[in-house]
Structure 1
Amino acid sequence: MVQSWTSPALPTLPGRGHALRLHDTATDRAFDPAADGAGRLYVCGITPYDSTHLGHAFTYVAFDTLLRVWRDAGVDTSYVQNITDVDDPLLERADATGVDWRDLAADQVALFASDMTALRVIPPNHYIGVVEAVDLVAAAVERLVAAGAAYRVDQDVYADLGADPRFGSVSHLDETTMTELFGERGGDPDRPGKRHPLDPLLWRGERPGEPHWDGHSLGQGRPGWHIECGAIASEYLGLPISVQGGGEDLIFPHHDMGTSHLRYLGDGRIEDGPADEPVRSFVHTGLVAYQGHKMSKSRGNLVFVSRLIADGVDPRAIRLALLSRHYRASWEFSHEHLDEGTARLRRWRDAVGDGSATPQQHATDHLDQVRAALADDLDTPTALRAMDAWVDQLSGAAAQDRALFADAADALFGVDLRG
């Protein structure tokens, strides 16, 4: 079983945080998906064939902040993340580099965990690799076949998206755009024998030289991409999921298709109406660019977290640099952002000192301003400015006030000023 990383300790703050309202991609409105007091979060994980770059870190720090705000508000949280540890890009990279695909995956998963530890990201309650979930995925595909929502093309199994009248409810894209993006993002719209070009692969039958497993009635093979998240999420979180998250490039096809699969993995009904929807809210982070283009492995313009740390950048400064951008914004990284994060970290640490006393009630007005900003769709830039304004009041302040500031920085922003 894949091991996650050690969770950082979170200080308990006085009082309670505000209810978090999040922007839902599917409805383009903000609401509280954890209004019932339970926050079930699923975030799509990495395909482990390259180490963590700042685009990855931006996403995982954003959802880590979501968890911290939920916990501060008293929400009962459960967090699940997958690892796509067998897939075409991983196999292609392993073949190109002459490394066994299992070794490549294990090395990159370990590096990712090291980066998340350095950034003080709370680990998922369940961190599930596809390889360990093959039986689960195969059973999910069998359910879709039994429901008439999947069919065979030779030795492969495809989802019949035509069986789901609400397919496309996340992205709301037109079919032409969907088809174009599907081809660009790992799909096979031109595969002969499919009922519709957009139908996604659920189970890839055995091919010579490729890893494969017993799919029971499906035959030997391995999982397709989109079904893995649905199978893992429904098993380890239950439905409905409060928030399904990832980068905005996952809106289509991954989340549109995965949600369609989830409708059959719940109660199997897909009539119109919100009662059957398996996901309450879709939350997506913006993309991070560098040197004029989105960070991508194919372009080679990646800025790696591990490399920055090796070069002496404090991971707390990296985290502050990422939090200075709103999670829904796409932006271009420059090293000036790290300089700003470093300067902010130094200023905060200087203001806190040892911060060892117990905070008192009279210092919580500043905390409430920070909480209010975070509860407004995780507005971390405004929350950081509120923290900066609080720092201005700490010169000569009582030790209790400085301690509360340090606790807030740690609990809400993941920045340990005492370390």
Structure 2
Amino acid sequence: MLKIYNTLTGKKEIFTPIEEGKVGMYVCGNTVYDYCHIGHARAMISFDVISRFIRHLGYELNYVRNITDVDDKIIKRAEENNESTQALTERMIAAQREDELRLGNKMPDREPKATEFMQEIIDMIQVLIDKGFAYHGASGDVYYRTEAFKDYGKLNNRKLEDMLAGARIDVEAAKEHPADFVLWKQAKEGEVSWASPWGAGRPGWHIECSAMSTNCLGSHFDIHGGGPDLKFPHHENEIAQSEAATGKDYVNYWVHCGAVRVNNEKMSKSLGNFFTVRDVLEKYNPEVVRYLMVSSQYRSAIDYSDQSLNEAKVALERLYTALRGQAAADRYEPTRFTERFEAAMKDDFNTAVAVSVLFELVRELNKAKAEDANQAEQLAAELLVLADLLGLLKQDPEYFLQNSTVSQGLTEDVIQALIDERTQARKDKNFARSDEIRDELAAQGIELLDSREGTTWTRS
């Protein structure tokens, strides 16, 4: 039986889906105003592994992860860059997908953008107003009335007054209570905005996820995930909005991954220890970064440093060395290693223990290589299948062992993803983006060859 640690209850619980055989999972994605950093990578990889294993257990999973593409930070950055918010967000979304593909992630089933759900957001705000859970303030903004929701604070197991102590909360004269939060912001002159019953404006951050998740997965769904910094206020506010609007329980299992620290300090631009995924992949093979992320259980904090990455590289090289020159059987009979691997993953997706099982399997494989060729092929096949559930051992062993430190250009998956995006851009007559992708690939030594049958590529 699969057990999941539920932040809402503070304990591991046996997972029971709302609908037998099916799972709905929503994960809070990024606000796309800058490149992804390694903290984002931790969350993206954690929920990629979770989604892989849920599917491995036979569930039909609907994995939804949103994109926040309208926000104060986006507007400010677009102004600084002298570009439109749409141009900025499209560029950052494309960069995020490229980073993810390089890290070995599979894409979610659906990635709704906030700007695509504006009417649903407005409708939900109106319902909250009609029910007395929201009000139109004197400032022109619409606020959520936190005192009206009696269960406010249940995710963090704290009372409203306790959560206010020491918290950074805007105190505005237009608010009825200091903890009330904005649902709809009145637009300033020249800002991107949408028409609403309360004037031109844009949604607050929290309401976006309530509207997108309930529209994509229904008013009540199985799993909601995100980073550790989202528990309060974002996820607390999501619960208050969603349950007040629908009158139903919102989510059964709340799942939060651990933070990434840099040399035991919080990652921060002001401390000079802030690293984007692209920074890191300049020095390390993407799979080394992924190994570092999955070598700890997803709820654990990870200490990022050159030392930890070098240790991850050495460990991953041990796994690849066992596969160097070793054939793998097309079919194999699962052994005790599969049983122990699955048991670890069923215990709240404990990848740390699962990885240790891979090394035990490798020891057995190395022994079999000298004694029993057939058994070695069986074990090699088992190793590849189990590692795939973690997104590992996806490269040719010889290639990885030659390139485990410095990333050597774009992977084939990334190249194909960019070609697919370029093909769609040409269909949409977005020739500027089409040419931009061609130039980006050319700069990486990738030459595109167009024909009636499609587009192929070669490395120049």
TM-score (norm 1): 0.87
CA distance in 1 between counterparts of 2:26 and 2:319 reads 32
Amino acid at match of 1:241: F
Deviation at 1:193, TM superposition (A): 2.2
Query: How many pairs were matched up?
Result: 386
1:20-419 correspondence runs (5 A): 20-35=2-17, 36-154=20-138, 155-180=140-165, 182-183=167-168, 187-188=169-170, 190-215=171-196, 217-266=197-246, 268=247, 276-297=248-269, 299-311=271-283, 313-353=284-324, 354-361=326-333, 363-395=334-366, 396=369, 397-418=375-396
Which deviates further from its counterpart, 166-175 or 224-233?
166-175
Amino acid at match of 1:336: Q
CA distance in 2 between counterparts of 1:355 and 1:167 reads 57
Deviation at 1:56, TM superposition (A): 0.8
Give the aligned CA root-mean-square deviation in angstroms: 1.9
CA distance in 2 between counterparts of 1:356 and 1:377 reads 30
**CA deviation map 1:321-380 (0-9, x unaligned):** 11112211223211122112222222212212454422321x421111111111111111
| Gaps in structure 2 of 5+ consecutive residues | 370-374, 398-460
Q: 1:72 to 1:38 in 2, by over 3 A?
A: same
> Do the aligned residues in 1 keep the contact of 2:136 with 2:198 (CA within 8 Å)?
no
Q: 1:173 to 1:299 in 2, by over 3 A?
A: farther
CA distance in 2 between counterparts of 1:122 and 1:280 reads 24
Q: 1:152 to 1:299 in 2, by over 3 A?
A: farther
Match of 2:418 in 1: none
Q: 1:297 to 1:80 in 2, by over 3 A?
A: farther
Secondary structure of 2:180's partner?
A: coil
Q: 1:379 to 1:411 in 2, by over 3 A?
A: closer
Amino acid at match of 2:296: R
Amino acid at match of 2:30: I
CA distance in 2 between counterparts of 1:371 and 1:413 reads 15
Secondary structure of 2:307's partner?
A: helix
Identity in percent: 31
| Gaps in structure 1 of 5+ consecutive residues | 1-18, 269-275
**CA deviation map 1:196-219 (0-9, x unaligned):** 11111001122212110122x232
Q: 1:181 to 1:301 in 2, by over 3 A?
A: farther
Amino acid at match of 1:160: R
Amino acid at match of 1:130: A
Amino acid at match of 1:165: K
> Do the aligned residues in 1 keep the contact of 2:226 with 2:255 (CA within 8 Å)?
yes
CA distance in 2 between counterparts of 1:334 and 1:131 reads 37
Deviation at 1:32, TM superposition (A): 3.3
> Do the aligned residues in 1 keep the contact of 2:103 with 2:286 (CA within 8 Å)?
yes
Secondary structure of 1:40's partner?
A: strand
> Do the aligned residues in 2 keep the contact of 1:406 with 1:418 (CA within 8 Å)?
no
> Do the aligned residues in 2 keep the contact of 1:358 with 1:404 (CA within 8 Å)?
no
Greater RCO (Cα-Cα under 8 Å, separation 6 or more)? 1
CA distance in 2 between counterparts of 1:283 and 1:115 reads 23
CA distance in 1 between counterparts of 2:9 and 2:389 reads 30
> Do the aligned residues in 2 keep the contact of 1:20 with 1:69 (CA within 8 Å)?
no
CA distance in 2 between counterparts of 1:65 and 1:181 reads 35
Amino acid at match of 1:364: T
Q: 1:399 to 1:59 in 2, by over 3 A?
A: same
TM-score (norm 2): 0.80
Secondary structure of 2:389's partner?
A: helix
**CA deviation map 1:84-138 (0-9, x unaligned):** 1111122222333444332222222111111111112121111011112211211
CA distance in 2 between counterparts of 1:258 and 1:297 reads 28
CA distance in 1 between counterparts of 2:302 and 2:287 reads 20
CA distance in 2 between counterparts of 1:182 and 1:214 reads 32
